[in-house]
Chains A and B, each alone.
Chain A
Amino acid sequence: MSIEEFISSITASANNQPGHLLQYLYEIQYQYAHISQQAIKLLAEKLSLTESHIHGVIGFYSFLHDSPRGAYDVLISDSITDHMLGSRSLLDALCKKLGVVPGVPREDGRVTVDTTSCTGLCDQGPAMLVNGWAVTRLDENRIDNIAELIESATAVDQWPNEFFRVEDNIQRRDILLSDESNDGEALRSLIDQGEDAMLEQIESSGLRGRGGAGFNTGMKWRFCKQTEADQRYVVCNADEGEPGTFKDRILLNAYADKVFEGMTVCAGVIGATKGCLYLRGEYRYLRAPLEQILQQRREAGLLGNTILGQGGFDFDIEIHMGAGAYICGEESSLIESLEGKRGIPRKRPPFPVTHGYQNRPTVVNNVETFMAAALIAVHGADWFSSVGTEQSSGTKLISISGDCEKPGIYEYPFGVSIQDILKDCAAKDTQAVQIAGAAGFTIPPAEFERCIAFEDVSTGGSFMVFKQDRDLLDMVKNFAHFFVHESCGFCTPCRVGSSLMKDLVDKVHSGHAGQYDLDEMQNIGQLMRSTSHCGLGTTAPNPVLDTLEKFPQIYEKHLKHSSYEPAFDLDAALQDARDITGRDDAGAHLGTKS
């Protein structure tokens, strides 16, 4: 098939809608290992978009490239938990075997090895993606095999199946994960009760958004329902990008029917006929099974026109793929991305509930929220609110990774203490727990009696355990780099601040910083927190500010105790000169190092 034919066929499958641009680019990327200038031109003509728009979109998503990436695009997950499992030395080993430098395609066009933000496989890492497909449990052996497979040009679909095995790894079940209701039961309940009664059920259940922000779900649905519009949308946010979370992976693998059913209940309540599941690019392997489930539901009358024979109850769901942008987990960025644009957060007001996808009222909820909604529809509000705390009803899926014996998914009623969780996952000698991911909280042992709840420690589910002998500054550094990579660049405080913060953390880490630098980090962090445009910018300094307050010792041991130290290391700068002259005597060093 020529590239013209390929592009025609993929755009035709979405009626040449320019809003599906990201989807087309995603397909082209994986078909041709990059999006060529020719492809951009063809798309621009076909969709009446400008080339600069398409370039802008490609440049925004880290899985899309306008220059060739090599037949094998290997991305090693660069989350701190992967580091702790040895990903860095595996990356070095793979690069050495393949003779490549990270990020640079090999000259023969065979392979690129690079890093990527957390792939959502922290419980079975170190992990990597090859051409978008997840490979788990990397070790030296597996890396050797992979290098051989690449050298022998073995197609990825010929690689051993076990490489791609992703386990659900459910360690504790509560009301959600132990549910045994039948498919369609929530919808029947909706039809029996009527949408107003159903909305009241959702409201009185006290269900709050499971992404972490905790907005009342019933209220969100009601705002959306009340807004006059010719069309409303239901969007399921499965762009689980917070480092250390992987609960959506399990829900979409094992409970997808419930999630779709929750979306359908929402659609019935608010009067939407179209829905989207925005699936993060890292979960490419889940797409085909999910499409299959959608098809089964259509065939079973649970999706499509006249759902369960109910005239006027029409709703269908499309899957949209993300392409490597953490910011797209923010609901308005996600909507921009759904519209085929750069995922820049919108300004608010207006909010997505009144002006969302295609400027129409849109409910955006987390995967877990929709599943909970489906089960509330089946079992009722009381069943749900009887679990958890007063302000945080129901249960929460916690994704546990890091230094513990039993990482995986744990479902707890809200109100569970950190201590109890640590006991269950068999963590010992814990120095700190990072909750809610890179943008979350660093909890010291003194606070382990605190609870997981919206009124105490609120989280989308990430729970990373660090034992005593870890250098927590490694984590801070990892997160600082993560935010520089993921900042969208739209607003000044985040664009500039994240990068300054990273430089300062690196300076501390490399032993060149003084107290002055810590004060600067404090200032920059406060500024980002108070002046950034969106949640990413306001929370990006959290790991630094939190650890500066609660773990000052991790900085102190790296500090040079002077008030000011330049980032520039004079002696290190002479290394080139020493290499050229072959000298390493005392006279070839500046006296800066003792």
Chain B
Amino acid sequence: MSEEFVTITVDGQELQAPKGAMLIEVTDKANIRVPRFCYHEKLAIAANCRMCLVEVEKAPKPLPACATPVMDGMVVHTRSDYARNAQKSVMEFLLINHPLDCPICDQGGECELQDVAMGYGQDVSEYVEGKRVVFDKNIGPLITTELTRCIHCTRCVRFGREIAGLRELGMTGRGENALISTFIEQSVESEMSGNVIDICPVGALTAKPSRFAARAWELVQHASIAPHDCIGSNIYVHTLRGEVIRVVPRDNEAINEVWISDRDRFSYEGLASDDRLTAPMIREDGEWVEADWDEALKRACAEIKHALDTAASDEDSEASDSSSKLAALISPSSTLEEMYLLQKLMRSLGSGSIDHRLRQSDFSDQDSAPVIPWLGQDVENLENMDAALLIGSNVRKEQPIANHRLRKAVVNNNAQISFINTREFDCNYPLAHNITAAQQQLPHELAAVAAAVFADSDDALPSYIAGAVSIAKPNETHRAIAQQLKQGKSSTVLLGSQAAMHPAYAALRALAEAIATQTNSIFGYLSEGSNSAGAWLAGAVPHRGPCNDADAVKGQSISDLSENTPAAAILFNVEPEHDIAQSRQIIRALTGASSVIAITAFRSPVLEDVASVMLPAAAFTETSGTFVNAEGVMQSFKGANNPAGEARPGWKILRVLGNLLKLDGFDYMSSDQVRDELRGMCESIELDNSITAAPQVKLPAGAGSLMRAADVPIYATDALVRRASSLQKTHDAVVLAVSMNPADAERLGLDEETGSVSVKQGESSAILKLIIDAGVPAGSAWIPMAVKGSELLGDPFGEVVIEKV
């Protein structure tokens, strides 16, 4: 498949170019700058701005470089008087209706129109007639429109259609009355919408949260890594006098290309929330008082020591194990260094009870889990798929960039993508199949696919799933999914973060892996938080040390804590009521512990209830560190600004705790040193998701009549994003409610008019708004977790009783 090349001459320079390539692609590659407004390398060619006109010898007119395919022997001049005159005239035309309100425009200083105008223009306008004025539209809390500035390049419209799958942005009117518009106010609802701010070449679309906050040239740019999902999008954090003003994408073709999700872009607003913990605090006689670092750290150490010592004298045999006395929970979005140091601290103190799997509930197969449950492939590879099956995943909202890659696979390769989920989710591409089942039925559905996969094969079923698969009854849909995975030249089976929360996670994992192996598909995980992979690598799990160290001190998983209350606990960037699936049980255990040390960037009512010491940690952007993304790439970043108030980077707090507890090996001078120590241990690690042995899979029996199912909504994933005020005003900021299938509602005598219902889950209960939604399967009550009020209920997957109020 050798590509055909042609030779062209541009500005006297001979260039080789693939036949059929557009001239502008070739000049861009050769670093010959042709001005442009409508052309964008990631979007379809429009050729409407006419800014990129160049002189092509023998052509009767100047030609647009973006829409002129190269031909052998073509001689092009991009800077001849002829070309420049054409470019200059077009630019003047664009300026005629442009308000030239640069002094009050946020785009000023980084405006493509301004740049080109400065290059060509005079600084005095010749034009004295009236200009066109366009009324602005309110398109939501994230983007400000100033449509008078619009130059009709249609990049935003094409972005909406081609990238975001968002079709509500369009061009209307004709001729000089043409304008960009949307017809449902607030209708720009996409998890990627903020990218239109970057692609708009002028100030027609600017960021609302940072409106008028700074001039572009005052900002200091810091390279960083986005902290919310396992993709690890590359970003720049822009600060002004130590304050984060905004976050923008940093190009990385292999990961996020030129895009970032709105969550990654706007979550920085949470940094300035009112409930930042800005000074160490200790509890004195039940009251919280500020303390200096010395005092607070001393108190923390004393409590840890006390827990380890006294418990030993109180209890019998079991209690001699430090692991049952001291436990630590760490957010899966903490840095690799924080995870490594916390587990080192714990294991040095003799306790292996550290866990980052805060929303997982089934740990039965943890010993057969891979070293790192990873994506199984590069992020980029997702767009090469021609078939995919995702289980327990709302990938669009959970990992928007991965969803964008999958969408490309659908658009470009006509990929057949199927989901097996506990409810229907909005998707911005057509799905091959979309199976929904009540949560207890989810493993049955997957077993049916497995049965279809193995049906006409002589290969033996892995023994641990044989029983489950043999009783499954595949239907047409299961068979079709199996067929698509088999036929796909590139196919993948992915377990999402809702699968990881599922009470039968082990079953889902074993079945999914077997399906993938048998269909020659890549098996992978879309894990929770920004650094689950790093957590496994760093040993922030109770059954393995760093880099799969089997000899490390072992301890209790998070689920054991609810039955076995430790004397002391360390919570690292954890808000128990939202970040933990079994929040009620864990909060009860923490309440029973004599001491809880919370290392946290934010205060929260539950932390204030259960903790005895609160140490203020630096939040994202305020610390250096490393995230390992789902494809196993380690990406380190530096701090962009100083921590709020007295807060300190987490790795430094842990280092000092190690020093104060007189532990060896806590003398790090930088976070790089921490990372390098771990990396040195991990050189021989190979990533492999395959399963060779696993506990026998049992499919869950039919449970109660109505089972809860849940996800973590996109803007509820972690403490930072939950405090990002603009994101919390969007449509995706889910409000607590219970959604039910119309059949269930009818059975219970509920309808649209009902309003609110009483939801009982075990001993908990709450009054929730009722939504009747055919996207929720029968037998299921869909109640999101990690949103305000959801802490009133229990497990995300328990049995519920719903009644009229």
Q: Contact mask A482-498 → B, CB, 8 Å, 1/0? A: 00111111111101111
A9 and B53 CA atoms in complex are apart in Å by 48
Q: Contact mask B78-117 → A, CB, 8 Å, 1/0? A: 0000000010011001101100000000000000000000
| Residues of chain A contacted by B730 (CB below 8 angstroms) | none
| Residues of chain B contacted by A55 (CB below 8 angstroms) | 170, 172, 181, 183
A55 and B90 CA atoms in complex are apart in Å by 29
Chain A: which residue is nearest B85 at the CB level?
A: A527
| Residues of chain A contacted by B86 (CB below 8 angstroms) | 527, 530-531
Q: Contact mask B306-348 → A, CB, 8 Å, 1/0? A: 0000000000000000000000000000000000000000000
A490 and B93 CA atoms in complex are apart in Å by 13
Given the known A-B contacts A349-B69, A487-B176, A497-B93, are A52 and B170 also in contact in the complex, defined by CB atoms under 8 Å? yes
Q: Contact mask B48-60 → A, CB, 8 Å, 1/0? A: 1111010000000
Question: Are the CB atoms of B48 and A50 closer together than 8 Å?
Answer: no
| Residues of chain A contacted by B175 (CB below 8 angstroms) | 484-489, 495, 498-499
Chain B: which residue is nearest A325 at the CB level?
A: B174
Does B178 sit at the interface, judged by CB under 8 A?
yes
Question: Are the CB atoms of A499 and B176 closer together than 8 Å?
Answer: yes
A497 and B96 CA atoms in complex are apart in Å by 10
Question: Are the CB atoms of B96 and A52 closer together than 8 Å?
Answer: no
Does A444 sit at the interface, judged by CB under 8 A?
no
Does A26 sit at the interface, judged by CB under 8 A?
no
The prevalent SS among residues of A at the interface is: helix
8 Å CB interface, A513-528 against B = 523, 527
Does A500 sit at the interface, judged by CB under 8 A?
yes
Does A509 sit at the interface, judged by CB under 8 A?
no
Known contacts A51-B183, A52-B182, then 17 further A-B pairs from the complex at CB < 8 Å, ordered by chain A residue: A52-B167, A52-B169, A55-B170, A342-B171, A347-B46, A484-B175, A486-B174, A488-B178, A492-B48, A493-B93, A495-B176, A497-B93, A523-B89, A527-B89, A530-B62, A533-B48, A567-B129
Q: Contact mask B409-436 → A, CB, 8 Å, 1/0? A: 0000000000000000000000000000
| Residues of B that sit less than 8 Å from A by CB | 45-51, 53, 61-62, 67, 69, 86, 89-90, 93-94, 96-97, 128-129, 151-152, 167-178, 181-184
Does A168 sit at the interface, judged by CB under 8 A?
no
8 Å CB interface, A49-95 against B = 50-53, 55-56, 58-60, 62
Question: Are the CB atoms of A496 and B45 closer together than 8 Å?
Answer: no
Chain A: minimal CB distance from B211 (Å): 24
Given the known A-B contacts A50-B167, A50-B170, A530-B62, are A492 and B90 also in contact in the complex, defined by CB atoms under 8 Å? yes
A347 and B96 CA atoms in complex are apart in Å by 25
A325 and B178 CA atoms in complex are apart in Å by 14
8 Å CB interface, A550-594 against B = 566-568
Q: Top 7 nearest A-B pairs by Cβ distance?
A: A489-B178, A52-B170, A487-B175, A59-B172, A496-B93, A50-B167, A56-B170
* A52, A55, A488, A497: most-surrounded residue (chain B CB, <10 A): A52
Question: Are the CB atoms of A496 and B167 closer together than 8 Å?
Answer: no
Question: Are the CB atoms of B50 and A533 closer together than 8 Å?
Answer: yes
Given the known A-B contacts A492-B49, A492-B152, A496-B94, are A53 and B174 also in contact in the complex, defined by CB atoms under 8 Å? no
Does A27 sit at the interface, judged by CB under 8 A?
no
A523 and B89 CA atoms in complex are apart in Å by 9
Question: Are the CB atoms of A491 and B168 closer together than 8 Å?
Answer: no
Chain B: minimal CB distance from A40 (Å): 8
Question: Are the CB atoms of B178 and A495 closer together than 8 Å?
Answer: yes
Does A183 sit at the interface, judged by CB under 8 A?
no
Of the A-B pairs whose beta carbons lie under 8 Å apart in the complex, a sample of 30, sorted by A's number, is: A50-B167, A52-B167, A52-B168, A52-B172, A53-B167, A55-B172, A56-B170, A56-B171, A58-B172, A59-B173, A60-B172, A60-B173, A325-B174, A347-B47, A484-B175, A484-B176, A487-B174, A487-B175, A488-B174, A490-B48, A490-B178, A492-B51, A495-B178, A499-B176, A527-B86, A527-B93, A530-B61, A531-B50, A533-B48, A566-B128
| Residues of chain B contacted by A474 (CB below 8 angstroms) | none
A55 and B89 CA atoms in complex are apart in Å by 32
A349 and B69 CA atoms in complex are apart in Å by 9
Does A339 sit at the interface, judged by CB under 8 A?
no
Question: Which among B45, B67, B129, B173 is the interface contact of A489 at CB below 8 angstroms?
Answer: B173
Question: Are the CB atoms of A492 and B176 closer together than 8 Å?
Answer: no
Chain B: which residue is nearest A349 at the CB level?
A: B69
Chain B: minimal CB distance from A176 (Å): 33
Given the known A-B contacts A52-B167, A349-B69, A531-B50, are A489 and B90 also in contact in the complex, defined by CB atoms under 8 Å? no
Q: Contact mask A245-267 → B, CB, 8 Å, 1/0? A: 00000000000000000000000
Does A424 sit at the interface, judged by CB under 8 A?
no
Question: Are the CB atoms of A51 and B176 closer together than 8 Å?
Answer: no
Chain B: minimal CB distance from A366 (Å): 24
A325 and B174 CA atoms in complex are apart in Å by 10
Chain A: minimal CB distance from B88 (Å): 10
Given the known A-B contacts A503-B129, A531-B90, are A489 and B181 also in contact in the complex, defined by CB atoms under 8 Å? no
A373 and B182 CA atoms in complex are apart in Å by 46
Question: Are the CB atoms of B167 and A531 closer together than 8 Å?
Answer: no
A50 and B160 CA atoms in complex are apart in Å by 12
Chain B: which residue is nearest A499 at the CB level?
A: B176
| Residues of chain A contacted by B69 (CB below 8 angstroms) | 349
Chain A: minimal CB distance from B422 (Å): 26
* A492, A530, A568: most-surrounded residue (chain B CB, <10 A): A492
Question: Are the CB atoms of B178 and A53 closer together than 8 Å?
Answer: no
Given the known A-B contacts A60-B174, A531-B61, are A52 and B181 also in contact in the complex, defined by CB atoms under 8 Å? yes
Q: Contact mask A180-206 → B, CB, 8 Å, 1/0? A: 000000000000000000000000000
Question: Are the CB atoms of B93 and A53 closer together than 8 Å?
Answer: no
| Residues of chain A contacted by B184 (CB below 8 angstroms) | 51
Question: Are the CB atoms of B96 and A500 closer together than 8 Å?
Answer: yes
Question: Are the CB atoms of B129 and A492 closer together than 8 Å?
Answer: no
Question: Are the CB atoms of B174 and A59 closer together than 8 Å?
Answer: yes
| Residues of chain B contacted by A566 (CB below 8 angstroms) | 128
Chain A: which residue is nearest B184 at the CB level?
A: A51
8 Å CB interface, A530-552 against B = 530-533
A492 and B86 CA atoms in complex are apart in Å by 12
Question: Are the CB atoms of B50 and A492 closer together than 8 Å?
Answer: yes
A483 and B621 CA atoms in complex are apart in Å by 55
A499 and B167 CA atoms in complex are apart in Å by 30
Chain B: which residue is nearest A488 at the CB level?
A: B174
| Residues of chain B contacted by A498 (CB below 8 angstroms) | 175-176
| Residues of chain A contacted by B181 (CB below 8 angstroms) | 52, 55
Chain B: minimal CB distance from A80 (Å): 19
Question: Are the CB atoms of B174 and A489 closer together than 8 Å?
Answer: yes
Q: Contact mask A19-60 → B, CB, 8 Å, 1/0? A: 000000000000000000000000000000011110110111
Chain B: which residue is nearest A346 at the CB level?
A: B47
A58 and B170 CA atoms in complex are apart in Å by 12
A566 and B62 CA atoms in complex are apart in Å by 32
A558 and B121 CA atoms in complex are apart in Å by 32
| Residues of chain B contacted by A530 (CB below 8 angstroms) | 61-62, 86
| Residues of chain B contacted by A485 (CB below 8 angstroms) | 175
| Residues of chain B contacted by A59 (CB below 8 angstroms) | 172-174, 177
Chain A: minimal CB distance from B113 (Å): 12
A492 and B152 CA atoms in complex are apart in Å by 8
Given the known A-B contacts A53-B167, A567-B129, are A489 and B93 also in contact in the complex, defined by CB atoms under 8 Å? no
| Residues of chain A contacted by B45 (CB below 8 angstroms) | 347
| Residues of chain A contacted by B172 (CB below 8 angstroms) | 52, 55-56, 58-60
Chain A: which residue is nearest B87 at the CB level?
A: A531
Chain B: minimal CB distance from A50 (Å): 4
Question: Are the CB atoms of A531 and B67 closer together than 8 Å?
Answer: no
| Residues of chain B contacted by A532 (CB below 8 angstroms) | 50
Chain B: minimal CB distance from A280 (Å): 16
Chain A: which residue is nearest B53 at the CB level?
A: A531
Given the known A-B contacts A50-B170, A484-B175, A497-B93, are A491 and B129 also in contact in the complex, defined by CB atoms under 8 Å? no
Chain A: which residue is nearest B153 at the CB level?
A: A492
Question: Are the CB atoms of B152 and A495 closer together than 8 Å?
Answer: yes
Question: Are the CB atoms of A531 and B62 closer together than 8 Å?
Answer: yes
| Residues of chain A contacted by B167 (CB below 8 angstroms) | 50, 52-53
Chain A: minimal CB distance from B57 (Å): 15
| Residues of chain B contacted by A497 (CB below 8 angstroms) | 93
